[in-house]
A and B are shown apart, each in its own frame.
Chain A
């Protein structure tokens, strides 16, 4: 596949993907395709994909529905949880509306309690995610994945075979590998594209219902970027920033802008919109598909895990490979696990990697853009 469109056009197309999928989800529904909605990177998509269902990330990135959520939920709860609940309750999220079932995991306290209320007006399947990563935890998580499979079989009156799961694993692995090749173009110094353009593709691709399309489209994009880079098309040299912390998307893209409009460039994302959900593949050679899935998903280095060594492993590797000059961690207000972990991350980045770190705590409002710009601009000036 060769791309005939210009790069900016391609990036905008990916940015529009989420909105376009609003219509797509309705069409799928009319065709009788089951829709499985989810919020979190821990959701083992392959199980739902194996029965031919479309999986989709549900709305949770705008402050539009927070006032509605705050009628039921406390004000000082993380905006991601409030937004998720608000969109669900007001039926303003088409993905949620058309979902036959919503899958939640027992990640953080706020989310699991919120799911209790959500269950009152929607079919919500809660997977018990352990908060440790040892052998006992793995056993539990594997049995939860099997329980989820059995739930789907019963609900939709289908049989999900291991071969079908294996196929889904291959499809998703291929997508991840392509996206990884894409973000690896940022190893170049100077970079070929902005971090925000990269983000548009990473985020937009999660809203493609046909996962099989991802490798072809993304590979063509990578090829075009590389070709233009070889022809000398690149950005000027700038301080190289890694973004870590809570999930970014929608309202919180303000943090990416604050970096890139103030003299820096985001070279890599160590969060759920980036490497955290793409870096590791599911082992295709493991004859036990459930074991392979359980291992891959449980190993995600989210701050809900205790201890959480995999986050440091990935963070350290990205800092080295992407020649990072400074780390910006975005935490959401009242996200206890990430906010507490920020202290340890700062220590790791400053002392073990020897580079500067800044933590910005924010919410989904645009009220702090002035302050955010000053803080991040000052941080970049000091690099």
Chain B
């Protein structure tokens, strides 16, 4: 049996397989989630997994979850991230997921979701914010973090991505160092993520998932702002897809037990 988790985010689609085949891959979501879902089915077939057969159980999650028409189950990214986060953290931890279009904080206690928060209809404090600012500075995300580490934080005070972008343009106009602007950008995102997370009583173990999860620099800043250690996860961008794959297995087992 193959258990497949497909997490179609706003920026990247992540796939994890568990069971007979163990693999993971990611690809850009592109403009059509349906197209992406088809591409994923094709890639899986190359690896010997046929999603149309009974031997593959698929859980789809992420904002494009409804586009995966071959999914056996559709589960929200909160539940999937929590399941994946449990695997990467523990049964009692907080998962901070900084995604392409939203940021979530999930509190897990004794293995189940106790509470969660999401950012409002606003891209500040999400990956989108970083993407836009990196574009503005003419670098990619990795380079943005590298530069930020060498910079002195410039204040970016706007709560809105569009206004913050004008602040960045102002700094560029004033001839400030790119490193300093980059440091300001990362600091601003971390501040907003911390603000969201601190609305809840956080447990001792906090892990970061999502596209930025492996950045030691980002978790360092985030830890300072929150006042508790936020641990990076090397595999964190796959947390949602991994959770989905694990839930595919658990749901299949439960259904089988019920029918027995």
- Give residues in A with beta carbon < 8 Å to B: 356, 361, 367-368, 370-371, 374-375, 377-378, 381-382
Q: Which residue of B lies closest to A363 (CB)?
A: B121
**Inter-subunit contact A371/B79 (CB<8 Å):** no
**Inter-subunit contact A382/B63 (CB<8 Å):** no
Contact status of A371 and B112, CB under 8 A, knowing A381-B76, A382-B79:
no
**Inter-subunit contact A378/B79 (CB<8 Å):** yes
**How far is it, in angstroms, between the C-alpha of A328 and the C-alpha of B114 when the chains are bound?**
15
Give every chain A residue within 8 A of B102 (Cβ-Cβ): 371
**How far is it, in angstroms, between the C-alpha of A147 and the C-alpha of B75 when the chains are bound?**
57
Q: Which residue of A lies closest to B65 (CB)?
A: A374
Give every chain B residue within 8 A of A381 (Cβ-Cβ): 75-76, 78-79, 113
Contact status of A374 and B77, CB under 8 A, knowing A367-B121, A368-B121:
yes
Among B63, B76, B77, B114, find the residue whose CB has the most chain A CB atoms closer than 10 A.
Answer: B76
B198 within 8 A of A: no
Give every chain B residue within 8 A of A371 (Cβ-Cβ): 102, 118, 121
Give every chain B residue within 8 A of A370 (Cβ-Cβ): 63
Bitwise, B54-89 to A at CB < 8 A (1) or not (0) is 000000000100000000000111110000000000
**Inter-subunit contact A374/B63 (CB<8 Å):** yes
| A-B pairs with beta carbons under 8 Å apart, 20 shown | A361-B120, A367-B121, A368-B121, A371-B121, A374-B63, A374-B76, A374-B77, A374-B78, A375-B78, A375-B118, A378-B76, A378-B78, A378-B79, A378-B113, A378-B116, A381-B75, A381-B79, A381-B113, A382-B112, A382-B113
Give every chain A residue within 8 A of B113 (Cβ-Cβ): 378, 381-382
Among B63, B77, B115, find the residue whose CB has the most chain A CB atoms closer than 10 A.
Answer: B115
A194 to chain B, nearest CB (A): 20
Give every chain A residue within 8 A of B115 (Cβ-Cβ): 356
A154 to chain B, nearest CB (A): 49
Interface size class of B (residues with CB under 8 A): 10 to 19
Give every chain B residue within 8 A of A374 (Cβ-Cβ): 63, 76-78, 118
Q: Which residue of B lies closest to A382 (CB)?
A: B113
Give every chain B residue within 8 A of A367 (Cβ-Cβ): 121
**How far is it, in angstroms, between the C-alpha of A374 and the C-alpha of B75 when the chains are bound?**
9
**How far is it, in angstroms, between the C-alpha of A356 and the C-alpha of B118 when the chains are bound?**
16
**How far is it, in angstroms, between the C-alpha of A370 and the C-alpha of B120 when the chains are bound?**
12
**Inter-subunit contact B118/A377 (CB<8 Å):** no
Give every chain B residue within 8 A of A361 (Cβ-Cβ): 120
**How far is it, in angstroms, between the C-alpha of A361 and the C-alpha of B122 when the chains are bound?**
14
Q: Which residue of B lies closest to A333 (CB)?
A: B120
A260 to chain B, nearest CB (A): 16
**How far is it, in angstroms, between the C-alpha of A6 and the C-alpha of B45 when the chains are bound?**
49
**How far is it, in angstroms, between the C-alpha of A87 and the C-alpha of B78 when the chains are bound?**
39
Give every chain B residue within 8 A of A377 (Cβ-Cβ): 76
**How far is it, in angstroms, between the C-alpha of A375 and the C-alpha of B75 when the chains are bound?**
11
Give every chain B residue within 8 A of A375 (Cβ-Cβ): 78, 118
Bitwise, B107-137 to A at CB < 8 A (1) or not (0) is 0000011111010110000000000000000
- What 10 pairs across the A-B complex have the smallest Cβ distances? A378-B78, A382-B113, A378-B76, A381-B79, A377-B76, A374-B76, A368-B121, A378-B79, A381-B76, A375-B118
**How far is it, in angstroms, between the C-alpha of A370 and the C-alpha of B63 when the chains are bound?**
8
Give every chain B residue within 8 A of A368 (Cβ-Cβ): 121
Give every chain A residue within 8 A of B77 (Cβ-Cβ): 374, 378
Give every chain A residue within 8 A of B121 (Cβ-Cβ): 367-368, 371
B157 to chain A, nearest CB (A): 20
Give every chain A residue within 8 A of B118 (Cβ-Cβ): 371, 374-375
**How far is it, in angstroms, between the C-alpha of A121 and the C-alpha of B79 when the chains are bound?**
52
Given contacts A374-B77, A374-B78, A381-B79, 13 further A-B contacts (CB under 8 A): A367-B121, A370-B63, A371-B121, A374-B118, A375-B78, A378-B76, A378-B79, A378-B113, A378-B116, A381-B75, A381-B76, A382-B79, A382-B112
**How far is it, in angstroms, between the C-alpha of A375 and the C-alpha of B113 when the chains are bound?**
13
Q: Which residue of A lies closest to B106 (CB)?
A: A378
B223 to chain A, nearest CB (A): 26
**How far is it, in angstroms, between the C-alpha of A40 and the C-alpha of B228 when the chains are bound?**
47
Give every chain B residue within 8 A of A378 (Cβ-Cβ): 76-79, 113, 116
Among B75, B79, B114, find the residue whose CB has the most chain A CB atoms closer than 10 A.
Answer: B79
Bitwise, B19-50 to A at CB < 8 A (1) or not (0) is 00000000000000000000000000000000
A361 to chain B, nearest CB (A): 8
**How far is it, in angstroms, between the C-alpha of A126 and the C-alpha of B191 when the chains are bound?**
46
Give every chain A residue within 8 A of B114 (Cβ-Cβ): 382
Give every chain B residue within 8 A of A356 (Cβ-Cβ): 115
